[in-house]
Amino acid sequence: MRVQFKVWLLMTFVGIITLSCSSDNDPVETNEDNSGVPEEPDTPEEVESGFQACQNGMAGIYPCSGYDLMGHLNLQELTGTDNSIVNDLWGWTDPSDGKEYVIIGTDILTAFVDISNPEKPIVVGRLESGLPPDMHADIKVYQDHAYIVSEAEGHGMKVFDLKQLRDVSDHPEDFDATTVYIGFSHAHNLAINEDSGYAYVIGTDAYEGGTHFVNISNSSAPVAAGGYTTEEPSHDAQVVSYSGPDAQYTGREIYVGSHGNEILILDVTNKDEPEIISRQIYENLGYVHQGWFTDDQKYFFLGDELDEIENSFNTRTLVFDFTDLDDPVLHMEYFGRTAAIDHNGYTQHNQFFLASYSAGLRVLDISTLENKEITEIGYFDTLPDTDEPFFGGAWSVYPFFESGNIAISDMGNGLFIVRKSDP
Task: Indicate the average pLDDT of the chain.
Answer: 90
Report the SS3 class of residue 211.
strand
Model pLDDT for residues 207-221, shown as the tens digit of each residue: 989 999 999 999 989
Compute the distance between CA of residue 292 and CA of residue 353 in angstroms, rounded to an integer.
Answer: 11
Superfamily of domain 67-420: YVTN repeat-like/Quinoprotein amine dehydrogenase (2.130.10.10)
Q: Where are the domains of the chain?
A: 67-420
Model pLDDT for residues 55-84, shown as the tens digit of each residue: 999 999 999 999 999 999 999 999 999 999
pLDDT of 11 over the 70 cut: no
pLDDT of 12 over the 80 cut: no
Strand partners, 199: 192, 214
pLDDT of 169 over the 50 cut: yes
Residues 6+ apart with CB under 8 A from 379: 63, 64, 65, 66, 67, 359, 360, 361, 362, 363
Contact 101, 92 (CB under 8 A): yes
Arithmetic mean of pLDDT, 76-99: 97
| pLDDT given at position 230 | 86
Arithmetic mean of pLDDT, 296-313: 97
Q: Which of these, 273, 244, 245, 242, lies nearest to 255 by C-alpha position?
A: 242
pLDDT of 46 over the 50 cut: no
Cα 388 to chain centroid, rounded:
20
Compute the distance between CA of residue 336 and CA of residue 5 in angstroms, rounded to an integer.
Answer: 23
User: What is the value of pTM for the model shown?
Assistant: 0.90
Cα 279 to chain centroid, rounded:
23
Of 23-37, 149-163, 239-253, 332-346, the one with minimum mean pLDDT is 23-37
| pLDDT given at position 48 | 53
Model pLDDT for residues 214-261, shown as the tens digit of each residue: 999 999 899 999 999 988 889 999 999 999 999 999 999 999 999 999
| pLDDT given at position 296 | 98
Strand partners, 136: none
Arithmetic mean of pLDDT, 14-39: 34
pLDDT of 162 over the 50 cut: yes
423 band by pLDDT with thresholds 50, 70 and 90: confident
